[in-house]
Amino acid sequence: MRSLLAAFHFLTVLPLPGSHHLRDKDWGRATAWYPAVGLVLGAILAALAWGLYRLWPGGVAAALLLLAWMFLTGALHLDGFVDCCDALLAPVPRERRLEILHDVHVGAFGLVGVVLLLLLKYSALVALPAGFRLPALLLIPVLGRWGMTGAVLLWPYARPGAGLGRKARTGAGRGQLAIATLTMLVVVGLAWWAGLGWVALALVLLTAGVTLIVARWMASQLGGLTGDAYGTLCELTETANLLVLVGLTHTGVLA
């Protein structure tokens, strides 16, 4: 139970009790429940979308839905994406990249990167056909957090010292990845049944591919991954899944 609470405290702003009772190993064990957190977030977003798209035009509803998406996570992953843009796109040595990740100021790379990312997510939410909206919103947050679990376990932590990103590796192991994968596959089955069909499984492969490629590149630049890198992976996989899904529906491959 404490590891499940740790997952919610780390990844959301949902007002759950018990944060002062958590131990370091609870944060590592919490990686098993990242996709479960994604499922709760996805269910909330799907419920909001059901109402928002009935009350407002598509563009307004998509903007409000994206706002809720950011609010529910406390913009945690988005903040990591901004920091990683500034650190990884600047032509500086590895030590300087790690320093930039600590810097609270936003640079040009981070500003441009977050604007483009939000624009892509917003455009995809506007263009996503109504018939696929609810299963997509249910599945995509799960996939993003499943990718995070894999990244925590498969790559070393880059930054010396304490931090939530390092705590996420304490007590984490293959068992956590197995539980996370099982949860993800159950949701994939639900999304398949709800109308996504074989595309639900294709999005799993896309998530795995994006996570492996981007995480390997980030690790080569930083000497490992950090909490900001985990958030970046979540944002990129969510965006990639939205864009591919919209592309498949737009071209008629998924009808």
| Residue 212 confidence (pLDDT) above 90 | yes
Q: Can you list the pairs that 73-76 forms with residues at least 24 positions away whose Cβ atoms lie under 8 Å?
A: 73/11, 73/12, 73/13, 73/41, 74/12, 74/13, 76/11, 76/231
Residues 6+ apart with CB under 8 A from 60: none
Residue given tokens 């925590």 in the structure block: 152
pLDDT band at 162 (very low <50, low <70, confident <90, very high): low
pLDDT band at 161 (very low <50, low <70, confident <90, very high): low
| Residue 20 confidence (pLDDT) above 60 | no
The stretch 191-216 carries a mean pLDDT of 96
pLDDT band at 177 (very low <50, low <70, confident <90, very high): very high
| Residue 22 confidence (pLDDT) above 70 | no
| Residue 144 confidence (pLDDT) above 70 | yes
pLDDT band at 54 (very low <50, low <70, confident <90, very high): very high
Q: In this predicted structure, what is the pLDDT of residue 126?
A: 97
Q: In this predicted structure, what is the pLDDT of residue 127?
A: 97
What pTM does this model have? 0.95
| Residue 12 confidence (pLDDT) above 70 | yes
The stretch 49-69 carries a mean pLDDT of 97
| Residue 18 confidence (pLDDT) above 70 | no
pLDDT band at 207 (very low <50, low <70, confident <90, very high): very high
pLDDT band at 17 (very low <50, low <70, confident <90, very high): confident
